[in-house]
Amino acid sequence: MTNENAHTMTGSKETLSMHPKKFALWLFIGTVIMLFGAFTSAFIVMASERAIQDIQLPGALLYSTITILISSATMQMAYHYAKKDELSKIKTFLTLTLVLGLVFLGLQYLAWDELVLNNIYFTSNYVAGSFIYVFTGVHGLHIISALIFLAVVLAASFKMKIHSKSLNQIEMCVTYWHFLGALWLYLYIFLLLNF
């Protein structure tokens, strides 16, 4: 039997491969989804057991939603230009995304400030209000981690290490950033529907 016949009989097996860091990122994203699934489930259970206090959602949450959606667009543009080797545009759009991420965090702080002005504290009698702090606070911590990752990618772009033949780092950053944007959109809609 020739090698060709043996190959035909056994069939060709192609292995699906993924970069280990990308695999770790997807595992982490899965963990974050479960975490926020648990938070929203806990809120639903709590809401079914007691009446939800009438709380006005801070207006800053709408502006932060708009900001994170715009930042997803600028992040996608950075990736687009990385595939085309337009190095100066990569830096520009990564910088814009970083600035918008910081603006998002600032708006989240203003939302907390607005809650405090309305006498809604993390440990107050407004149990439902506590969930707003949990949702925004834990999401904010993930945004901080994404901003650190983004700063690393931005630094790599200044060293000419982000380009069409070296996309792994920016692809991971884009994936994480879009995920956090989608997660925030889910949380914001959840809050709108429940308050």
Say which CATH number the domain at 118 has.
1.20.120.80
Average pLDDT score, the chain: 90
- Host domain of residue 169: 61-195
pTM for this predicted structure: 0.88
Residue 3 has pLDDT above 60, yes or no: no
Q: Determine, yes or no, domain membership for 3.
A: no
Q: Per-residue pLDDT tens for 131-163?
A: 999 999 999 999 999 999 999 999 999 999 999
Among 60-74, 95-109, 112-126, 174-188, which stretch is predicted with the lowest mean pLDDT? 112-126
Higher pLDDT, 64 or 9: 64
Q: Determine, yes or no, domain membership for 55.
A: no
For residue 51, the model assigns a pLDDT of 65
Residue 126 has pLDDT above 80, yes or no: no
For 19: left if phi > 0, alpha if psi spans -120 to 50, otherwise beta; the answer is: beta
Q: Determine, yes or no, domain membership for 46.
A: no
Residue 178 has pLDDT above 60, yes or no: yes
Q: Determine, yes or no, domain membership for 71.
A: yes
Q: Determine, yes or no, domain membership for 2.
A: no
Q: Determine, yes or no, domain membership for 86.
A: yes
Q: Per-residue pLDDT tens for 17-42?
A: 778 999 999 999 999 999 999 999 99
Count of domains for the chain = 1
For residue 7, the model assigns a pLDDT of 47
Mean pLDDT of 112-119: 91
